Structure 1
Amino acid sequence: MNPLDQLTLDQLRARRSIKWSLYEPDVLPMWVAEMDVLLADPIREALEGALAIGDTGYPGSWPLVDEFVAFADRRWGWAVDPKLVAPAAGVIPAYVDAFIEDTEPGDEIVITSPVYPPFTTYLRQAGRVVREAPLTADLRLDVAALEEALEAATAPAEGSTTRRRAGLLLCNPHNPGGAVHTRQELEAVAAIANRLDVTVVSDEIHAPIVYSGAEFTPYLSVDGGERGIAIQSASKAFNLAAMPAAQMIAGTERRAWLAQYRKGAHGHATHLGTIAGTVAYRDGESWLDALLQGLEANRDTLHAFVSDQLPGVTVSRNEGTFLAWLDFRGTAAAGARDLGEEPSKLLLEEGRVALNPGTHFGLGGAGHARLNFAAPPAVLDEGLSRIASVVTG
Structure 2
Amino acid sequence: MAEPHEGLIVDRTDEQLRATGAIKWAAAPPGVLPAWVAEMDFAVAEPIARALHEAVDVGRLGYGPPDEVTGVPEALADFAADRWGWHPDPAHIVLAGDVVEALARVITTLCEDAPVVVPTPAYPPFLEVPAHTGRRLVTVAHDPDALRATHDLEAIDRELAAGARTLVLCSPHNPWGRAFTREELTALRDVADRHGAMVLSDEIHAPLVLPGHEHVPYATVAGPESRYVTLTSATKSWNMPGVKCAQVICTNAADADRVRAFPLHPTQSSLGTAATRAAYRDGRDWLDAVVERIDANRQLFGKLVAERLPRVRMRPLEATYLAWLDARAYGLGSPGAVALERGRVWVDHREWGPGGEGHVRVNLATSPERVEQVVDRLALAWESA
TM-score normalised according to structure 2 size? 0.92
Are 2:142 and 1:135 aligned? yes
Partner of 1:246: 246
**Aligned counterparts of 1:263 and 1:139: Cα–Cα separation in 2:** 40
Aligned residue among 328, 331, 346 for 1:354: 346
Aligned counterparts of 1:354 and 1:262: Cα–Cα separation in 2: 38
| Aligned 1:376-387 pairs, distance under 5 A | 376-387=367-378
CA contact (8 A) 1:322 1:374 kept: yes
Separation in 1, partners of 2:343, 2:170 = 31
* Structure 1 residue 42 displacement after superposition: 0.7
Contact 2:197 2:227 in 1 (8 A): no
Structure 1 residue 261, shift from structure 2 partner: 3.0
1:16-60: CA deviation from partner (whole Å, max 9, x where unpaired): 111112121111110000111111001001101221232211233
2:302 counterpart of 1:283: no
- 2:336 matched residue in structure 1: 344
Count of aligned pairs? 372
- Answer yes or no: is the 8 Å Cα contact 1:350–1:390 preserved in 2: yes
The one-letter amino acid paired with 1:344 is: G
- Is the contact made by 2:117 and 2:164 (CA closer than 8 Å) also made in structure 1? no
Equivalent in the alignment of 2:360? 369
Q: CA deviation at 1:306?
A: 0.8
Cα distance between partner residues in 1 of 2:328 and 2:9 = 31
- Residues 1:113 and 2:115 are matched in the alignment: no
Aligned residue number for residue 260 of structure 1: 258
CA distance in 2, matches of 1:286, 1:311: 37
Aligned-partner SS, 2:25: helix
Number of the residue aligned with 1:216: 215
Q: Equivalences for 1:8-19 in 2 at 5 Å?
A: 8-19=13-24
Q: Which runs of 4+ in 1 moved over 4 A?
A: 2-5
Amino acid in the other structure paired with 1:357: H
2: CA distance, partners of 1:236 / 1:284: 13
Say if 2:338 and 2:382, in contact at 8 Å, map to a contact too.
no
Q: Does 1:228 align with 2:228?
A: yes
Any idea what SS the aligned residue of 2:190 has?
helix
2:64 paired with 1:59: yes
Q: Which amino acid aligns with 1:15?
A: T
Task: Decide which moves more: 49-58 or 174-183.
Answer: 49-58
| 8 A Cα contact 2:148 2:316, kept in partner | no
Supply the distance in 1 between the matched residues of 2:229 and 2:204 (Cα, whole angstroms): 13
Q: Spell out, residue by residue over 1:288-327, the C-alpha distance to the aligned partner (whole angstroms, 9 max, x if none).
A: 0011000110111111111111021111211100111111
Partner Cα distance (1:376, 1:245) in 2: 27
1:101 aligned to 99, 103, 109, which one?
109
5+ residue gaps in structure 2? 1-5
Report the 3-state secondary structure (helix = DSSP H, G, I; strand = E; otherwise coil) of the residue aligned with 1:131.
strand
Question: 2:124 & 2:41 partners in 1: Cα distance?
Answer: 22
Query: Matched residue of 1:292: which SS?
Result: helix
Q: Distance in 2 between matches of 1:102 and 1:365?
A: 30
Question: What SS does the aligned partner of 1:319 have?
Answer: coil
Residue 275 of structure 1: how far off its partner (Å) = 0.4
Q: Alpha-carbon deviation of 1:154?
A: 4.2
Secondary structure class of the residue paired with 1:174: coil
Q: Give the partner amino acid of 1:110.
A: V
How far has the Cα of 1:224 moved from its partner? 2.5
Say if 1:49 and 1:102 are closer, same or farther in 2 by CA, change over 3 A.
Answer: closer
Paired letter, 1:122: V
Which amino acid is 1:241 matched to?
A: P
How far apart in 1 are the matches of 2:52 and 2:258? 33
Q: Secondary structure at the match of 1:132?
A: strand
Q: Deviations over 1:361-388 (max 9, x none)?
A: 1111111111111111111211111111
Distance 1:38 1:207 in 2: 21
Structure 1 stretch displaced more, 24-33 or 74-83: 74-83
Does the 8 A contact of 2:72 with 2:276 survive in 1? Answer: yes
Q: In the alignment, is the contact (CA less than 8 A) between 1:4 and 1:376 conserved in 2?
A: no
Report how far residue 259 of structure 1 moved: 3.1
Structure 1 counterpart of 2:29: 24
Matched residue, 2:203: 204
Q: For 1:188 and 1:302, how far apart are their aligned partners in 2?
A: 33
Amino acid in the other structure paired with 2:139: E
Match of residue 69, structure 1, among 72, 77, 94: 77
Give the CA deviation at 1:135: 1.9
Query: What is the distance in 1 between the residues matched to 2:8 and 2:306?
Result: 26
Question: 2:214 and 2:160 mapped to 1: Cα distance?
Answer: 31
Partners in 2 of 1:139 and 1:14 — Cα distance?
A: 38
Structure 1 window deviating more from structure 2 (234-243 vs 4-13): it is 4-13
Partners of 2:258 and 2:378 lie apart in 1 by 51
Q: Please list the CA deviations of residues 109-142 of structure 1 after superposition, one character each: whole Å capped at 9, or x if unmatched.
A: 1111111000011222222211111224234222
- Displacement of 1:239 after TM fit? 0.8
In 2, Cα distance between the equivalents of 1:258 and 1:5?
38
Offset at 1:242? Answer: 0.6
Contact 1:3 1:37 (8 Å CA) reproduced: no
5+ long unaligned stretches in structure 1:
156-163, 332-337
CA contact (8 A) 1:2 1:294 kept: no
Q: Is the 8 A contact 1:110 1:150 kept in 2?
A: no
Alpha-carbon contact 1:114-1:365 (below 8 Å) kept: yes
